[in-house]
Every structure is written in structure tokens, then in C-alpha cells.
């Protein structure tokens, strides 16, 4: 019943997926078969009569389920990049099977017993650093889910987890319902003054789709953001800003205040059950930042440096608004509007001016050239492996000795069936087994401007940095050089994973790098440096206020998760306290951030919001190391490759980083780059 096409190893060049032979109906039976196979592999481990050893338990576990991993990666990658209703339907059938399987592993007491037996004697085992990390990670995947608890407490934990997942769902549904409920219909054309043509058009279409006359605006970002940025009508800006800021804070059926309190209290209880003082302590145990104290200190240090700059920028903006429109007090609904006007006045940067210098083929070639100089990698386009869509480009990546480093897929243009945004993923991890270093298959997927009949694909500068960003993630995958698959490549702590991607973006702003690829697609002229200077300056426009905003969200997150929340009775009151030193705009009583802060109450960012800024500190600090001796310094590149890019999650990221940099990351480089401090 199971078709050979999906059985690993694939009988193909480099063992790449045989995309064109896969039929949708193959998936479900193959998944079922692969899960059964993985279960059998686990059974072999738990029923092994020999005493548990690192090899027969921890290593065996890490290499189990290979067939399942490979078809999962193919299936779910395609569900993002080349999906259709049929695939989505299959995904809905497969997902519960997969979560059932992974729950069964976490709850497998025989398996945990063996893992714990090894963990308890780990000091006597003479393990390498990588092996220690693997053991620790595996042990914690059980203990952090309650494996060490008594039956009674285990049941409490399950109960909490069940409630939490319902509450998070409810939280998200309420926010979504509030977003969908609000409509602002404009019938007088004068009220559209200031808005770009595209925004007006979209609003007209939105009205038409709901059989209404006029222009309809909603709280969806593509509608809301341009409105508050460009609309000359202050009253309407106020109306839509307050609507966005008061989501699920109206005391009605869609209110989230109780949900916020319940979620934070349950998380706290869960952490206590597992032996942690707070939810933040629980989360941060598996982060580079390590402890709530460190995160708090990090945010406070940034705050100290960013606040004076933010206040200065705010004052400037106030006087700009006063001069322009006689605004006496700058309100929340004025910020984006006057900031945009000021930005236009200062930089007048136009995407159309830059695009001719960034032909897609040249930018890709630039990324390849830069990585060739830094890491001796060669990219050769190949046509002898299968692809899932004709637009996909395929490459063989090799090192200076000609050895295969990775297979690389690049999929650049939007089409029906591809989700929005840009991402990196892999079709096969890297690992070492039986002394063979099995190389990875890495992919990046983007949605860039398509070529037309008369013009090639010309990228906006934002698309250029996006390509470099995803390419940086790809390098992390391609250069992986670890033994165990679960520690390989981008399998690192959450607050470390953006270092390789964000650092690579820095080369896009450097003259020496741009000279390699940013040439006019018609004349061949290299992009003028004054344009680059403008890009740099506009990229850090209002950086003080932006930083303050990010810090405020991080502090709010920590205030909910870094202490016992049972004392907190009033959501808005608590929020006011958390924001006390970080707000610039006058307070509005009808708004509340927490009740629609989906990142931390619905998504996975609880006690993790700080990581946005954390990653920036890392990439700025690391890039500054390159800049000190030249952005193409091979020695530094080698150190970055040896200690970061190739090491995956084999050791604590701080250890890896310090080995590369010689010291812990400091925020000064970011503050300098952002123009917040002088030197």
C-alpha cells in the first residue's frame, strides 16, 4: 500500500525528494507507516534488555524516526510553499496523528526511566560537550513536561495545560473577532485626503465586497497602517487608533481581561509545579539570556541609553507638528502621521530610484560572492535534481576542495499556493552517522517582485535585505557540522537563531559589498554612495522611539511573567505601572495593550519579547567585530563559521558566542549603529 516514492533513502541524486513522483494520495498512508516505524524504533529502545547507555538510548532516540522526519519536512514545506485545498485537508488529518505520536513519546515512562538513568550518572560518563547538550536537552524534554512529578501532580499539570490551550485559543478568537468587527466607512471623498492611491483603491474594493458605497477601512494591518500613517483627518485617525488600541477591552463578551489574569496565573502555577519560581524562569532556562534577572537588566540598560534619544526625537516631532499644523499636544494617533511627514522631508527616498540597482540575479550573485569570499563556498546551479515548481532554482554548494556542502533550493516569486513572507527551511538535516557526514538540503522561499515582459525582477531595498536575511539562516543550515541531527543547523535557542540571518543583512549597507553586485541593470553603473548613506540614515530614523517601544513591550511581558501574578487584580492598572517610565504619549483610558497582546498570550512569545532586541544586540556586536578589521576579513569569518555557523545547538549559545567574539555581547555596537550614542 505504501508507495516506494516516499521511502528513504530516496533513490535520487543526493538523496533529494522525488517531488514530481509524489502523489497527494501517497501522503496519508506513508505518514501512518512512518509513524508505526518510528514507534517500533522507540519500542526497541525501551524493551532493550541491556542497561541504558548513552548510545543505546540517547543516540538511538535522536536517530529514530528518520523516515517520518523526511516526509514531514517535504509535506509541511510544500504546505507553505506550494499548497492547495487537498494538501491542506491532508494536513488536518496528519497533524493530530503527529501530535499524538509526540505526546506518546513525552509521556512514555519506560523511555523516561532509561533517559533518567543516564542523566543521573552523566558526570561519570566522560561525554563530549555536544553529547552533554544532547542528554540535557532530551532529559528536559521530559522533565519540563512533568515526567518527574507524582501521579497527582501530573494530573494537575495536564489539567492546567488543557485549560491553558483553551484560554489561549479563546484569547486569540476574541482579538480576531474584535479586529473583524470594526469597520470605518467613509462616504465623503474629502475624508480620504492624504491617502495613497493604492490604499484608496483597496478601501473601495473592500466596500464593494461588502456591498457598501464608499471606502471601507478595517483594523487589518494593510488597511489600518496606511490610514494612520497618511490620513490628514485627525479625528478619523483618532477613531481608528482608539479602536485598534481597545481591542478586547470593552467589558463585553469579547473582553480579554479575565483571560489575561487566568493565563498568567495558570502559567505561574504550572511553573511552580515543575519547581520554578516563575513562568519566566521556566521559559528562560532554555534561552541564551538564561534568567529573568538578566533579561530585566538587559532591558533596563537599553532603556537607560535609548530614553534620552527617544525623548529628544519626541520633542522634535512635537515641534514639527506644531509648526506644520499647530498641534499643541502630540497624541498616539499623531505619531505615525507626523513621523512619516518628517521622514519624507528629511530623506525623500523613493524605492523606484533604488530598484534598478538591485536586479534579482545580481543580488543572488552578490550573496554568493560574499559567502565565497568569507567562507570559501561555491554555488553552482544544477538541473539534474527534481523540483516542486518550475520557478525553483537548485544549486550544488561545495567547499574549496570541491566536497559537497549542501543542496540549496531557492524559490523567489509569489504564486497562488504560497504563503506570504519569506522563510528558510530544510528538506534534510545534517548529521554524522557511521563516520559519514551526511549533508543537508536547505531551502529559502520568498515573495519578491516578479519580472515582466519588458523588465527583469528589480528588488526594493527591503527585499534585498530580506534575501540576505534568509540567506543567513540558510548558511546556518548549510554549514552545519554536528553529529546529532536534533542539534544541527538552526536547532538553537530561540534568542540565538536570528544572529546568522541578521548579521548578513549588514553587508547590504557596505560600499565594498555593494560594489560586488549593486549595479544598474541597464547601464552597469555601481549604486551611488550618497543613496546608500540615505538608506542607512532613514533605516535608523526615530530609532530611539522605536527602541523605547520595543523595550516597553518587553517590560510588559516580563511584568506579567516574571513575578507571582496572583496579586494583580486590575489589568489596566498593572499595565500603567509597567509602562510608567517608557511612555511618551499622553495616557488614554479606553486603550489597553495586554488584552490584545497576542504575541505573549496566544503565540509563543511569553517571556520572549525581549529577544527581538536581544538578537539586534548580537548581530550589531558581531558585525562590529568584522568591521574592526574589514568586512571581508577571512580570519574573523573562519571564527564565525567554526564557533557559530557550524556548531548549531551543540553548546550553550553564550559559550559559542564568547568563543567567537572573545567576550560577551555588549549593546554599545547596536546603540552606535542606531545613532543613539556617539562612540
Residue 263 or 492 with smaller CB distance to Zn ion:
492
The angle that helices 461-478 and 360-375 make with each other, rounded to 10 degrees, is 40
Kindly state the smallest distance separating residue 346's Cβ from Zn ion, in Å: 29
481, 473, 518, 531 alpha-carbon torsion, rounded to 10°:
-130
- What's 423-464 look like in SS3? EEEEEECCEEECCEEECCEEEEECCCCCCCCCCCCECCHHHH
Strand partners, 216: 185
Compute the distance between CA of residue 478 and CA of residue 461 in angstroms, rounded to an integer. 25
Compute the distance between CA of residue 507 and CA of residue 510 in angstroms, rounded to an integer. 5
Residue 271 or 445 with smaller CB distance to Zn ion:
445
Kindly write out the interface string for residues 452-481 of this chain, putting x where it contacts Zn ion by CB under 5 A and - elsewhere: ------------------------------
Compute the distance between CA of residue 180 and CA of residue 216 in angstroms, rounded to an integer. 12
3-state secondary structure of 235: helix
Q: How do the residues of the chain divide into helix, strand and coil, expressed in percent and rounded to 5?
A: 60, 5, 35
Q: Whose CA is closest to 249, among 550, 494, 593, 493?
A: 593
Whether residue 602 contacts residue 172, with contact meaning beta carbons closer than 8 Å, is answered with yes
DSSP code string of 476-506: HHHT---SSGGGSTT-S-TTTTTHHHHHHHG
Kindly state the smallest distance separating residue 422's Cβ from Zn ion, in Å: 9
Query: Which range of residues in 38-46, 187-195, 495-503, 512-520 is near Zn ion by CB under 5 A?
Result: 495-503
Query: Which range of residues in 130-138, 288-296, 406-414, 496-504 is near Zn ion by CB under 5 A?
Result: 496-504
Kindly state the smallest distance separating residue 617's Cβ from Zn ion, in Å: 15
Kindly state the smallest distance separating residue 410's Cβ from Zn ion, in Å: 16
Phi first, then psi: what are they for 216, rounded to 5°? -110, 130
Q: Is 470 a catalytic residue?
A: yes
3-state secondary structure of 100: helix
**One of 470, 505, 510, 624 is an active-site residue; which one?**
470
Output the CA–CA distances (angstroms, integers) from residue 300 to 19, 577, 677, in the order listed. 50, 15, 16
Residue 229 or 501 with smaller CB distance to Zn ion:
501
Kindly state the smallest distance separating residue 285's Cβ from Zn ion, in Å: 23
Q: Radius of gyration over alpha carbons of the chain, in Å?
A: 26
Residue 175 or 504 with smaller CB distance to Zn ion:
504
Whether residue 425 contacts residue 73, with contact meaning beta carbons closer than 8 Å, is answered with yes
Kindly state the smallest distance separating residue 423's Cβ from Zn ion, in Å: 8
Kindly write out the interface string for residues 296-315 of this chain, putting x where it contacts Zn ion by CB under 5 A and - elsewhere: --------------------
Query: Which range of residues in 169-177, 222-230, 404-412, 493-501 is near Zn ion by CB under 5 A?
Result: 493-501
Query: Which range of residues in 202-210, 376-384, 482-490, 499-507 is near Zn ion by CB under 5 A?
Result: 499-507
Kindly write out the interface string for residues 174-213 of this chain, putting x where it contacts Zn ion by CB under 5 A and - elsewhere: ----------------------------------------
Residue 501 or 596 with smaller CB distance to Zn ion:
501
108, 114, 120, 123 alpha-carbon torsion, rounded to 10°:
-130
Residue 168 or 473 with smaller CB distance to Zn ion:
473
H helix or E strand, kind and range, residue 381: strand 378-381
Kindly state the smallest distance separating residue 499's Cβ from Zn ion, in Å: 10
Residue 444 or 600 with smaller CB distance to Zn ion:
444
Residue 83 or 501 with smaller CB distance to Zn ion:
501
Compute the distance between CA of residue 264 and CA of residue 245 in angstroms, rounded to an integer. 21
Q: Identify the DSSP state of 651.
A: S
Query: Which range of residues in 45-53, 155-163, 357-365, 497-505 is near Zn ion by CB under 5 A?
Result: 497-505
Kindly state the smallest distance separating residue 532's Cβ from Zn ion, in Å: 23
Kindly state the smallest distance separating residue 473's Cβ from Zn ion, in Å: 6
Which residues, including other chains, have CB under 8 Å from residue 385's CB and lie 6 or more apart? 12, 13, 14, 16, 394, 407
3-state secondary structure of 290: coil
Strand partners, 436: 433
Residue 362 or 501 with smaller CB distance to Zn ion:
501
Query: Which range of residues in 65-73, 243-251, 498-506, 538-546 is near Zn ion by CB under 5 A?
Result: 498-506
Residue nearest to Zn ion according to CB distances in the complex: 501
Q: Which of 77, 501, 611, 650 binds Zn ion (CB under 5 A)?
A: 501
Residue 501 or 519 with smaller CB distance to Zn ion:
501
Q: How many residues bind Zn ion (CB under 5 A)?
A: 1
Compute the distance between CA of residue 315 and CA of residue 559 in angstroms, rounded to an integer. 28
Q: Does 425 bind Zn ion (CB under 5 A)?
A: no
Whether residue 200 contacts residue 215, with contact meaning beta carbons closer than 8 Å, is answered with yes
Kindly state the smallest distance separating residue 502's Cβ from Zn ion, in Å: 7
Query: Which range of residues in 272-280, 326-334, 494-502, 511-519 is near Zn ion by CB under 5 A?
Result: 494-502
Strand partners, 409: 394, 443
Neighbours of 114 (CB within 10 A): 21
- Which residues lie near Zn ion (CB under 5 A)? 501
Active site residues: 470
Amino acid at each position: 500500500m505504501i508507495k516506494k516514492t516516499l521511502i528513504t533513502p530516496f533513490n535520487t541524486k543526493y538523496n533529494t525528494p522525488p517531488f514530481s513522483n509524489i502523489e497527494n494520495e501517497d501522503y496519508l498512508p506513508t505518514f501512518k507507516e512512518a509513524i508505526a516505524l518510528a514507534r517500533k524504533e522507540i519500542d526497541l529502545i525501551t524493551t532493550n534488555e541491556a542497561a541504558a547507555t548513552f548510545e543505546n538510548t540517547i543516540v538511538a532516540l535522536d536517530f529514530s524516526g528518520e523516515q517520518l522526519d523526511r516526509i514531514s519536512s517535504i509535506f509541511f514545506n510544500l504546505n507553505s510553499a506550494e499548497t492547495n485545498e487537498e494538501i491542506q485537508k491532508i494536513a488536518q488529518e496528519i497533524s493530530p496523528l503527529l501530535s499524538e505520536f509526540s505526546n506518546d513519546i513525552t509521556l512514555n515512562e519506560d523511555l523516561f526511566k532509561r533517559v533518567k538513568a543516564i542523566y543521573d550518572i552523566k558526570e561519570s560518563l566522560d561525554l563530549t560537550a555536544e553529547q552533554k547538550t544532547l542528554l540535557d536537552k532530551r532529559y528536559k524534554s521530559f522533565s519540563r513536561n512533568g515526567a518527574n512529578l507524582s501521579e497527582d501532580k501530573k494530573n494537575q499539570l495536564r489539567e492546567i495545560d488543557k485549560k491553558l490551550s483553551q484560554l489561549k485559543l479563546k484569547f486569540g478568537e476574541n482579538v480576531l473577532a474584535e479586529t473583524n468587527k470594526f469597520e470605518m466607512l467613509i462616504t465623503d471623498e474629502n475624508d480620504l485626503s492624504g491617502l495613497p492611491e493604492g490604499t484608496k483603491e483597496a478601501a473601495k474594493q473592500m466596500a464593494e465586497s461588502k456591498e457598501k458605497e464608499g471606502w471601507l477601512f478595517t483594523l487589518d494591518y494593510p488597511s489600518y497602517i496606511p490610514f494612520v500613517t497618511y490620513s490628514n483627518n485627525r479625528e478619523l485617525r483618532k477613531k481608528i487608533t482608539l479602536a485598534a488600541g481597545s481591542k478586547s477591552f470593552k467589558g463585553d463578551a469579547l473582553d480579554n481581561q479575565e483571560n489575561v489574569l487566568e493565563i498568567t496565573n495558570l502559567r505561574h502555577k504550572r511553573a511552580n509545579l515543575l519547581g520554578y519560581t516563575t513562568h519566566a524562569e521556566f521559559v528562560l532556562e532554555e534561552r541564551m539570556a538564561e534568567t529573568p534577572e538578566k533579561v530585566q537588566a538587559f532591558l533596563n540598560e537599553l532603556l537607560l541609553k535609548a530614553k534620552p534619544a527617544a525623548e529628544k526625537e519626541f520633542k522634535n516631532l512635537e515641534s514639527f507638528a506644531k509648526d506644520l499644523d499647530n498641534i499643541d499636544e502630540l497624541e498616539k494617533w499623531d505619531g505615525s502621521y507626523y513621523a512619516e511627514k518628517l521622514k519624507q522631508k528629511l530623506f525623500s527616498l523613493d524605492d523606484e530610484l533604488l530598484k534598478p540597482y538591485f536586479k534579482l540575479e545580481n543580488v543572488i550573485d552578490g550573496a554568493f560572492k560574499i559567502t565565497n569570499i568569507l567562507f570559501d563556498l561555491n554555488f553552482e546551479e544544477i538541473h539534474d535534481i527534481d523540483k516542486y515548481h518550475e520557478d525553483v532554482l537548485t544549486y550544488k554548494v561545495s567547499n574549496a576542495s570541491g566536497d559537497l556542502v549542501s543542496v540549496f533550493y531557492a524559490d523567489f516569486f509569489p504564486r497562488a499556493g504560497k504563503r506570504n513572507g519569506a522563510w528558510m527551511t530544510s528538506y534534510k538535516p545534517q548529521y554524522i552517522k557511521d563516520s559519514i557526514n551526511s549533508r543537508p538540503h536547505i531551502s529559502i522561499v520568498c515573495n519578491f517582485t516578479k519580472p515582466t515582459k519588458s523588465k527583469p525582477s528589480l528588488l526594493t531595498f527591503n527585499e534585498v535585505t530580506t534575501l540576505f536575511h534568509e540567506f543567513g539562516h540558510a548558511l546556518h543550515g548549510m554549514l552545519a557540522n554536528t553529529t546529532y541531527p536534533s542539534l544541527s543547523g538552526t536547532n538553537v535557542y530561540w534568542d540565538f537563531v536570528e544572529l546568522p540571518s541578521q548579521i548578513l543583512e549588514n553587508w547590504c549597507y557596505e560600499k565594498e559589498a555593494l560594489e560586488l553586485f549593486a549595479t544598474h541593470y541597464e547601464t552597469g553603473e555601481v549604486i551611488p554612495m550618497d543613496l546608500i548613506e540615505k538608506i542607512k540614515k532613514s533605516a535608523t530614523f526615530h530609532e530611539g522611539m522605536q527602541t523605547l517601544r520595543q523595550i516597553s513591550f518587553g517590560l510588559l511581558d516580563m511584568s506579567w511573567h516574571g513575578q507571582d501574578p496572583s496579586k494583580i487584580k486590575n489589568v489596566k492598572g498593572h499595565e500603567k505601572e509597567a509602562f510608567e517610565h517608557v511612555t511618551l504619549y499622553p495616557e488614554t483610558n479606553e486603550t489597553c495593550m495586554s488584552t490584545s497582546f497576542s504575541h505573549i498570550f496566544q503565540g509563543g512569545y511569553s517571556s520572549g519579547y525581549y529577544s527581538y532586541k536581544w538578537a539586534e544586540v548580537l548581530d550589531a556586536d558581531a558585525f562590529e567585530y568584522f568591521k574592526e578589521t574589514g568586512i571581508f576579513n577571512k580570519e574573523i569569518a573562519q571564527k564565525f563559521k567554526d564557533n557559530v555557523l557550524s556548531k548549531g545547538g551543540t553548546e550553550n549559545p553564550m559559550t559559542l558566542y564568547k568563543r567567537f567574539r572573545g567576550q560577551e555581547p555588549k549593546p554599545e555596537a547596536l546603540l552606535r549603529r542606531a545613532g543613539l550614542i556617539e562612540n
